[in-house]
Structure 1
Amino acid sequence: MRVSEYYNIGRSQGTLDFVDVDTVNDIRVYIDPSTIRHLTDDWGKECIIMITTFFDSVLDAVRMGDKERTTYLLGNLGEPNETHLGISRGKSAGRGFGKQMSVDFAAKLAASQAAQTGLIEDLEDTSFFLDRVDKDIVSDITTNIIRGPLISYTQQMAGVFGIPLEEGIESGAVWNPRRLEWEQGYTELPVADGEKLLLVPKVIVRRDLHLSRSEYYRNHLAPTLQSEEAENPGSKLVRVLKDGSRKVYKGDIEKEYGSSKPDVVRETLKRPSVYSSYRETKKSVPPTPISHTELSEVGNTPPPDYEALLEAVISTPPGKAEAGNYHSRVEALLTALFYPSLSMPEMEEEIHEGRKRIDISYTNNAVSGFFRFLTRHKIPSKYVFIECKNYGKEVTNPELDQLSSRFSPLRGQFGILTCRSFDDKDRFLNRCRDTALDHRGFAIALDDSDLAQIVSDVMKAINWKPSDPPPREPEIPPRIHDYPLLHKRLKALVS
């Protein structure tokens, strides 16, 4: 039974920010530290500090030959079955980073030439150079390191969806990045089927790690070996073509050098600059977050039904009595539409010491599309604010002022006001433009028909093929996360 079913949340995976795991079995996705390294929000930065300080501490201990410190650091890593991520068949247990694995991991690091020479810099490098260390082990270690932030995230999601928390739950070992020590304590967590539960954001999981050994071999190491052989006058791998040119085929390279993990490690240690170059290239390219489609495939769940989500919003009767339902349904729709650019929704978030509330706030971790466009053009949008107005009357200046009063240079100066309809839409959009020109922030207003247009654009983008005509706005590339209507509205604010 999935978390959403166990707690009667009434949501599908596409409308949930976390991975909707089975409360007993595992789902085959993994936490990827490289993906976390590209998060720009406070939660992500906290995780990055934890991962970096922990693994630097491990490498320092290994290189100094401090077995006691190494044993302490790695010995506090346990089997993180509470996330239900990984490769177990049946009940989550036994596949993780157990005590014997920590001993083996320490021994492999100590004996690794790659660790001693500095070729292993980050946790994810271990999947390249250490035997029997792959995405599942890297994911388990990462889970242990960021257990503290995952506990906070779980508590946040529990507040959003009314998931009950139990007091006095053992936290497990939590890494303290300032003291460089493990700490134990008690906390509040959900308990499902008798076991504590940690929820994991979708934006940090993948089916494979961002660093790919096959990609590295195919596009970096093998071409280097080809070039070396081609430049070697005595190479037996060179084929002389009819035009006199010299050619070395990848198939011959694989037969001569091999392509297994030990083969890749051996040849990389002879050519460390090849891996260093690959790693720097990958660091400059943000990982692609797992998509709705991929999560549906691995989790055996249906993809988001955007039309049904839209219908739930549109069919909500206007008025104060249904304001709560409208608010929740808008959040469900936008969470599905704006993933993976916007994540970690908070409902009724308090600011100014509780004197003001924001209906919905999202963290902006976009790597492309409209929400990345905002940050690239210096519009503060670390967080994106949504105000929901289920009025049966005209939305006017006070509602717009309410949204703009939530803006600040630190939190963000971009938001969306959703409402049912306008008596005079052009007049209200001009009010939004006035707000922007007065340097009070950037507010985009969307009524029911606008939400319907965004859904239509997203569905067209999903089904777009290169042979199809260009989308409505040719200057906007036909990608799902570009949202032509949002671009159009933003352009109207600043033109």
Structure 2
Amino acid sequence: MAKSEAAKSGLLTDLEDTVLMIEGISVDVVSDIVTNIIRGPLIEYTQEACEQYGIPLTSGVVSGPLWYQTNKKWDELYVQLPTVDDERLLLVPKEIVRQDMDYDLAKYYRHYILEHLRKQELAANSDLVQILRSGKKKGQPKVYIKDLKEKYGTGKPAVVHQTLANPELLRAYKEEHSNPSKPLTHRTIAEISGSETPDWDKLLDNVVSLPPGNNSAHHYENAVEALLSALMYPALAHPRAQHEIHDGRKRIDITYSNMGRGSFFEWLSRHYSSAHIFFECKNYGKELDNPALDQIAGRFSPSRGQVGFIVCRELADPALFAKRCRDTAKDHRGYVMALDDSDLAALVDTAKTDTLGFFDLALLRAKFNFLVS
């Protein structure tokens, strides 16, 4: 990389640019580089996930290269990681996984560089310009791709040469690809990994089949998290169970990071404090009372977020509780919505009929609209 013309010229500004201009660097190599750079956070994520889901960890595992931004150095540590056949494993949040990079050498070369050169040849009326002799476009001038390739060359050396001469081409390409591609759907992940898509009926039944009461409270919380993590993907990510705040003096049953991703939650993040979304699980066989509402409101803050849900079994008077939630919102104590068994069933029905990969959370949007109406 350091010896390449693209690097020496200052043409490279992002790691992804190497896929377009550096020989020997492909999507796989960039993936390996990124993994090394973020290995430290990935180890922390892996340890948290293993603790939450009961995956055994092996002590004394060599971490692999770790990058320290403070002193600009690499180092290795002995850490705890899951292992299979004595090989360490890193877990990766599925919402950041892609099948391929947005950057594509062939597309940049064909649709930006060659297209620019074609227009250039046409404007100069060069020897490459030919007049069509037949067909619907008879009489029109044309420059053939094969002739452009023969004159200007192919591969990364040609790409670097033309980009140096026309840097606006790379700027245009990067601007068009500035927004990250969508996360993989449940269906795509299943196809790639040879696994099953979420069994919506089973996930729901694991929640609603539990008997109400404190004896099933822990199982209820776990079942709710499993269902919500599938339903809310990819908008809500990185669930943390029994998340401690205020130095452990308060706990939140389930805390999600709000990743937005083109859903109701993305809109929410643009207009309300909702960096995190909180869920309190109440396996009650009775009407929710004001203390339950006050409890979750007491977990809110402008920095953590001020949007949350109470997941419960059944509401004796859903309209009355919704009004209580609206009162809380009007008092500027945060935005709380209730999801009972019937609401979860409605969300599952929507997920089962989804054909686009990510379904619209219209039910949640309606509940929030009531709070601010």
Structure 1 pair 196/393, CA: closer, same or farther in 2 (3 Å)? same
Amino acid at match of 1:196: R
> Match for residue 352 of structure 1?
246
Aligned partner of residue 110 in structure 1, secondary structure: coil
Is contact 1:119-1:276 (8 Å) kept?
no
Letter in structure 2 aligned against 1:223? E
1:273 pairs with 156, 168, 179, which one? Answer: 168
Residues 258 and 276 in structure 2, CA contact (< 8 A), matched pair in contact too: yes
- Aligned equivalents of 1:152, 1:187: Cα separation in 2: 10
Decide which of 261, 265, 271 is 1:371's aligned counterpart.
265
**Is 1:337 the counterpart of 2:231 in the alignment?**
yes
Counterpart selection for 1:403 from 286, 296, 301? 296
- Tell me if 1:418 matches 2:296: no
Q: Which amino acid aligns with 1:270?
A: A
Contact 1:358 1:386 in 2 (8 A): yes
Alpha-carbon distance in 2 for matches of 1:175, 1:288: 28
| TM-aligned CA deviation for residue 336 of structure 1 | 0.8
1:445-460 maps to which residues of 2 (within 5 A)?
Answer: 445-460=338-353
Q: State the SS of the aligned residue for 2:287.
A: coil
The Cα shift of 1:254 comes to 5.2
Q: Distance in 2 between matches of 1:345 and 1:452?
A: 21
Secondary structure of 1:415's aligned partner: strand
Moved over 6 A (4+): none
- The letter for the 2-side match of 1:142 is V
Output the TM-score relative to the length of structure 2. 0.93
Q: Distance in 2 between matches of 1:255 and 1:458?
A: 52
Of the two structures, which has the highest relative contact order with CA contacts closer than 8 Å and spacing of 6 or more?
1
Alignment match, 1:293: 187
Instruction: Tell whether the 8 Å contact from 1:436 to 1:494 is kept in structure 2 after alignment.
Output: yes
What residue in structure 1 maps to residue 370 of structure 2? Answer: 492
SS of 1:267's partner is: helix
Identity among equivalent positions (%) equals 46
Q: Tell me, what secondary structure is at the counterpart of 2:24? A: coil
CA distance in 2, matches of 1:344, 1:110: 37
The 8 Å contact of residues 338 and 481 in structure 1, kept in 2 or not, is answered as no
Aligned: 1:173 with 2:65: yes
**For residues 452 and 184 of structure 1, what CA distance do their matches in structure 2 show?**
48
One of 100, 103, 107 as aligned partner of 1:215: 107
Match of 1:361 in 2: 255
Structure 1 segment 89-128 matched on structure 2, within 5 A: 109-128=1-20
**C-alpha separation in 2, matches of 1:384 and 1:410:** 12
Deviation at 1:351, TM superposition (A): 0.5
Of 267, 282, 293, 2:177 maps to 282
Deviations 1:176-199 (A, max 9, x none): 101111122222222332222221
Alpha-carbon deviations, 1:420-467, whole Å to 9, x = none?
11100000111111111111111111111111111222233x236xxx
Find the aligned partners of 2:90 and 2:364 in 1 and give their Cα distance: 35
CA spacing shift, 1:397–1:113, aligned 2, 3 Å: same
Give the gaps of 5 or more residues in structure 1: 1-108, 465-478
Equivalent residue number for residue 71 of structure 1: none
Distance 1:301 1:286 in 2: 25
Compare 162-171 and 480-489 and name the one that shifted more.
Answer: 162-171
> What's the TM-score once normalised by structure 1's chain length?
0.71
Supply the distance in 2 between the matched residues of 1:364 and 1:442 (Cα, whole angstroms).
15
Q: Structure 1 residue 312 and structure 2 residue 206: aligned?
A: yes
CA–CA distance in structure 1, aligned partners of residues 23 and 127 of structure 2: 31
Correspondence list, 1:146-225, <5 A: 146-225=38-117
CA-to-aligned-CA distance 1:167-217 (integer Å, 9 cap, x gap): 332222211101111122222222332222221111222111122223323
Match of 1:137 among 29, 33, 48: 29
Counterpart residue type for residue 281 of structure 1 = E
Return the alpha-carbon distance in structure 2 between the equivalents of residues 269 and 172 of structure 1: 37
Q: Aligned-residue CA RMSD in angstroms?
A: 2.1
Q: 1:251/1:399 Cα in 2 relative to 1: closer, same or farther (>3 Å)? A: farther
3-state SS of paired residue (1:157): helix
Distance verdict in 2 for CA 1:405–1:251, change over 3 Å: farther
Tell me the SS of whatever aligns to 2:16.
Answer: helix
Bigger Rg, which one: 2
Give the number of aligned pairs: 370
Range 152-161 or range 123-132, more displaced: 123-132
Separation (CA, whole Å) in 1 of partners of 2:48 and 2:78? 17
- The Cα shift of 1:115 comes to 0.7
